[in-house]
Amino acid sequence: MSINKNQFADGLEIMRRPILPLARLAMLLYLTGPFETVEELLAELVEPIETGGRNYEQPGQFLQEFLSPLRLMESLKNARPPAARILDENQDPLDPMEGLELLISQQALTMELEKINSLLCRPCGCKLCCIGPEDTLAQEYFEIPLTEDESRLFALSVVNNDLSRKSLPADEPPVTINGRPFYEGESRIYHWRSGWSMVLPRHTSCPALDRETGGCRIYPDRPEVCRRPQIFPYVLERQPSLDIEYEGRVLQTFIRQKKLLAVWDCPYVKTLKDEIADYAEACELEPVFRENKA
Footprint on this chain of ligand SF4 (rule: CB under 6 A): 121, 124, 126-130, 144, 206, 208-209, 216, 218, 222-223, 226, 230, 266-268
What CA–CA distances, in Å, run from 108 to 102, 111, 159, 233? 10, 5, 37, 9
- Between 52 and 267, name the residue whose CB sits nearer to ligand SF4: 267
Least gap, CB of 118 to ligand SF4 (angstroms) = 9
Question: What is the nearest approach in angstroms of ligand SF4 to the Cβ of residue 129?
Answer: 3
> 236 CB contacts (<8 Å, ≥6 apart)?
86, 102, 103, 106, 254, 255, 256, 257
Rounded distance between C-alpha atoms, residue 186 and residue 179, angstroms: 14
Supply the minimum distance, in Å, between the C-beta of residue 238 and ligand SF4: 22
- The residue among 62 and 196 lying less far from ligand SF4, judged by its C-beta, is 196
Q: Report the residue number, 243 or 265, with the smaller CB distance to ligand SF4.
A: 265
Q: How far is the CB of 268 from ligand SF4 (least distance, A)?
A: 5
Whether 117 contacts 19, CB under 8 Å: no
Nearest to 269 by CA among 139, 111, 109, 116: 116
Minimum separation from the CB atom of position 123 to ligand SF4 (A): 9
Please report the sign of the dihedral spanned by the C-alpha atoms of residue 88, residue 93, residue 24, residue 236: positive
Closer to ligand SF4 by Cβ: residue 99 or 223: 223
**DSSP H or E run through 158:** strand 158-159
d(CA 203, CA 3): 24
Closest distance of CB 174 from ligand SF4, Å: 22
- Closer of 87 and 129 to ligand SF4 (Cβ): 129
CB neighbour class for 86 (10 Å; exposed up to 12, middle 13-18, buried from 19): buried
* Minimum CB distance to ligand SF4, residue 131 (Å): 8
Closer residue to ligand SF4 (CB): 40 or 224: 224
Nearer to ligand SF4, 101 or 275 (CB): 275
Biggest alpha carbon–alpha carbon distance for the chain: 70
| Torsions phi, psi for 30 (to 5 deg) | -65, -45
